[in-house]
Amino acid sequence: MRLNYLKKVSMFTSRRMARLPTERKRAFKQFNCALYLKYVIDPETWHMFLNSAGFCNQRSCSVCQMRRCVKLRLKIFPALRRLIADYPDKHFLLLTLTVKNCNQSDLRRTLCSMQSGWHRLSQRSDFPAIGYLNSVELTRPRDCFYAGF
């Protein structure tokens, strides 16, 4: 099961994080993420639904990141169907903007400059889209304490 793999990755990451004194609290939260999952069965359809679980909701947790992705997908797909129905003559644009790797100390400044550049682009009068979804992806080097599973 994919959830088992994600939990193993999350636990490995939390053990690596716990080595740093500043990350111990977050590591403890992440290590205890999703230790139990409580399901409820609908008596009419016999479908199982997740009723409660102890999720940590941290960005470094692979289980919570997967949940966040699923939630986003559940919001985006119906909106895309509505957009296609409302604007059948429009096209979709997927734009990937990348920058050269920066030091961790420059990350905040780099993200702010990327965001301000995107804002300037999207505010232009000749911007080709009626809306957009903006997200940021960060990758970490192999020697970082989050990587290496």
Query: What is the residue extent of each domain of the chain?
Result: 2-91
Average pLDDT over residues 38-47: 91
The token pair that represents 118 in the structure block = 């995107």
Q: Residue 140 — left, alpha, or beta (φ > 0 → left; ψ -120 to 50 → alpha)?
A: beta
User: What backbone phi and psi angles, to 5 degrees, belong to 40?
Assistant: -125, 140
Higher pLDDT, 147 or 109: 109
d(CA 73, CA 112): 26
* The model's pTM: 0.67
Q: Is the pLDDT of residue 102 over 90?
A: no
Q: What percent of the chain has pLDDT over 70?
A: 93
In this prediction, residue 88 carries a pLDDT of 87
Mapping DSSP onto H, E and C, the string for 49-105 reads: EEEEECCCCCCCCHHHHHHHHHHHHHHHHHHHHHHHHHCCCCCCCCCCCCCCCCCHH
